[in-house]
Amino acid sequence: MEWASIRNFLGIPAHLTGKGVAIAVVDGYFPPHPDITANDRRHTYFVNAVSADTKPLLFQTGKAPWKSCHGLMTSAAAAGSGSLSSGFFSGAAPEADLFLIETGPLPTVEETEKKFVMALRWLSNNWRKYNIRGVVLTIAYTIDTGLLPWQADPIKVHCEQLAKEGLLIVVASGNTKELTCSGPASSPSVLSVGGVIVPHCTDEISSYHGCHGITFEGKRIPEILAPAENIVLPTPFQSAEEYENHYTVQFDNLPDGYSRTEGTSYAAPVILGCAACIWQANPEWTASQVETAMIQTAKYKAEWFEAGAGLVDLQAASKYPGKSFTTADKFQRFDQSASVQSDIKIVSSILSSYGEAISAESIDQLKALIMHAQSPKVRAAALCRLAAASDLTYTEIRFSLNDQSSYVKMAALFCLRNREDMWEGVTSRVIDLFNDEDLNIQYCAIKLASTIKHPSFIKPLIYGMLNDARKLKVSTFGARCEALQRLTGIAYEPVPEFREGQCFYSELSTKSRIDIALKWQQYLAKGNVKSI
């Protein structure tokens, strides 16, 4: 089968290539693959964000074999040259200058937070110096799923600061349809990206199964769409076995070293590449203006209602009339109702000194808000502020875990992350939240269980697996597997096995998850778990 390239699918004009525009990609590792390294048409620079020496170094092509990895694909989607496909399977902006900001491995939420903050600090200190216009972040980051105020997350705090300074921040919204968002996509000033499926032999474009919903601040996720499935990107296979195990490559008529893949991790850098092309045509535009032009000119279809966003139209965006820019454009994406805006003002006031010392009088006022404030967002903000000051009692946490609002329950789960002294007393309530009606709460309760690692979690984690597998709750199923592995040291291999390039929601993937669930039920039946 033959597949469209990113540029052909989006109809990007040949003369718009991102030439002369610098953009950045933050990821764990970047191999010296010719699609993303420097060439005679553009410069690529490598930055080690976590080393003592963070000076950008010209990134030259290294010897094959190159490692196939997330960072290669994200940077290639933004500005890959398509070198090994004679330029055909290039990224959105193949002549944009690239700054590849490497963080190294990201094994835990804590490591991810620490290293991405270092990368964002590097950008804060250097984006003006090197004239970097935008950056893309594609991390799966699970402090929350969009239901906490942005001030509670250090990565979002740095994103907001950079956006305020004038840098375009583009973030992948996440790949699982049951959650509001993944990573810092909920941060108010970043551009969150969802996806569409690149069709084969048809003009019917359908929406991708990504995250969607409304965040704490009232922002709709996602805000714009780009190709997120059937994207052809460089995939340097390390062996014949790896090639043969790939789900699609043997059936596609693609150049060696390329394959189809999926994920909003690749849609987001496509949007950054499109922004580079728009800046090439309109170098005087600000980040906010480029963002507005893309959103206002995006193509909408009724079938994409669930996504709530339109597909980027680069040609139309590059010709967006400058007189149409207004200061209100950015905020049309948020809920403007009086009650929501009133809540946000109060929340901003509560969290304006987040992380700073707090007076005894203020503590008493915040504790009163937790118990009595009418607005759930105000109650949640008060919880987050007191958590930062380590001034919450067991009674207050327990009370908040029983709140009817998802915002408050999410804030209570957030507060518990660093309160090991309370874990023993809340295990039964955390277990109850495994079955909360809001899948965001289910997911984060299971993630917290993975941190607490109390043996009483094992049975309820297993009990819910088969239902999650059958009802395509991909996020919570994966979280259950991770938690059970941490609790028992066991990770079952599925039959059929998961294969690279295989859709998360396919019938084959569902069969694999059901197989894992049945193996865990057998584990229970053998009496491996004692009653607690």
**What is the spatial distance between Cα 47 and Cα 26, in angstroms, rounded to a whole number?**
9
CA atoms 86, 92, 98, 101: torsion sign: negative
What does the longest C-alpha to C-alpha distance in the chain come to? 71
pLDDT digits (tens, 9 = 90+) for 203-233: 789 999 999 999 999 999 999 999 999 999 9
Q: Where in the chain is the domain with CATH 3.40.50.200?
A: 6-320
Mean pLDDT of 452-462: 97
Mean pLDDT of 284-292: 96
Percent of the chain predicted with pLDDT > 70: 96
Bridge-based pairing of strands 220-221 and 168-172 is unpaired
**β-pair partners for 206:** 197
pLDDT digits (tens, 9 = 90+) for 302-350: 877 666 799 999 999 999 987 566 644 554 566 667 777 788 899 999 9
What pTM was computed for the model?
A: 0.96
Number of H helices, E strands in the chain: 19, 12
For every residue of 151-209, DSSP letters joined together read GG-HHHHHHHHHHHHT-EEEEE--S-TTSS--GGGGSTTSEEEEEEEPPSSSS--EE--
- The CATH superfamily holding the domain 6-320 is Peptidase S8/S53 domain (3.40.50.200)
Q: Mean pLDDT, the chain, as a whole number?
A: 93
10 Å Cβ neighbour count for 102?
Answer: 19
Residue among 314, 234, 236 at smallest CA distance from 273: 314
Bridge-based pairing of strands 206-207 and 191-197 is antiparallel
> pLDDT grade, residue 194 (50/70/90)?
very high
